[in-house]
A = this chain, B = another copy of it.
Amino acid sequence: MVAKILYGTEVANKIKEELITKTEELKKDNIFPHLVVISTSYDKSSQVYVKSLEKKCNSIGIKFTEINIDEYDTTSAVELIKKTSHRDDVHGILIQSPLPKQFDSFMLKNSISPEKDVDGCTAENQGRIAYNKAFNQPCTPAGIVEILKYYEIPTEGKNVVIVNRTPVIGKPLSFMLLNLNATVTICHSKTVNLPSICKNADILITAIGKANFIGKDYIKPNSVVIDAGINCDENGKIVGDVVFDEAMELCEAVTPVPKGVGTVTSIMAMKNLIENIKK
């Protein structure tokens, strides 16, 4: 058997086309969708990400503004974020990660108004997922759910194992999949006997950050594997957490890296932004 490859690019392209249409409609009603990214000069590699966000916004027709903040002044940063949240011409705010260590990054992120928190990182949005009432869901979990829905992978009654317990991915994703009637197990670095738990998964979702870590010993035959890891292997090649060839042999379906989860993640902030306006 050879697994079906679940291309995130295909999902992302479909979402992008929809967003272009919706953005045009909004502009006819004199609403000009606008994303603000709060950035620092701290992390060079994430500046590349900010640039790619700008390009993506441009290609959809969303106005993009980058506001660079003083790296040593949390109080001013919080005030700026609150003020930006109150601007009628701003529909979404993102804070570049990682932030310099001297910042209280939770406090900073939690200063965004939940209605404009297109990254779904505020406590209010995280908690609203428990009630299935989030204004904005975090981008990576939301992207994973989009992939499952696009490829019509059923979740009800399925055993889903998530290897990640962060508030960015694993925790909110667990609630989103519970809301879709999956049985959910969350694993992490302290999990004992990880391979045998993963091998029970009908749907295995990994975001570990270790190149080629998840091999055939972790994969149930005919299962679905969603690889949200983005790593460099020893040859400098971008790979996921999963040994792709072994997953291809065993699984029913698997996401590739690149062209997988990451491509959908990066468009979800724009999807959140446009949907916020519609609400």
Contact = CB atoms under 8 A, between A and B. Distances in A.
A63 interface: no
Contacts of A185: 183-186
B183 A178 contact: no
A181 B191 CA distance: 8
Given A167-B131, A171-B178, A172-B130, A156 B190 contact: yes
Contacts of A156: 190
Interface string A159-195: 1000001010001101100100101111110111000
A157 B144 CA distance: 26
**8 smallest beta-carbon distances between A and B, as pairs:** A127-B127, A126-B127, A123-B127, A130-B167, A185-B185, A181-B190, A157-B192, A183-B191
B157 A191 contact: yes
A159 B190 CA distance: 11
A106 B133 contact: yes
Interface in A51-88: none
A124 interface: yes
A170 to B, nearest CB: 8
Contact of A165 (B128, B133, B178, B197): B178
B175 A183 contact: no
Contacts of A171: 130, 175, 178
Nearest to A135: B123
30 contacts: A106-B131, A106-B133, A123-B125, A123-B128, A123-B131, A123-B133, A124-B127, A125-B127, A126-B127, A126-B128, A126-B131, A127-B128, A127-B129, A127-B130, A130-B167, A130-B172, A131-B167, A156-B190, A157-B190, A157-B191, A158-B192, A159-B197, A165-B178, A174-B174, A178-B186, A181-B188, A183-B186, A183-B187, A183-B190, A184-B186
A255 interface: no
A122 interface: yes
A125 B130 CA distance: 11
Interface centre among A125, A127, A129 (most CB of B within 10 A): A127
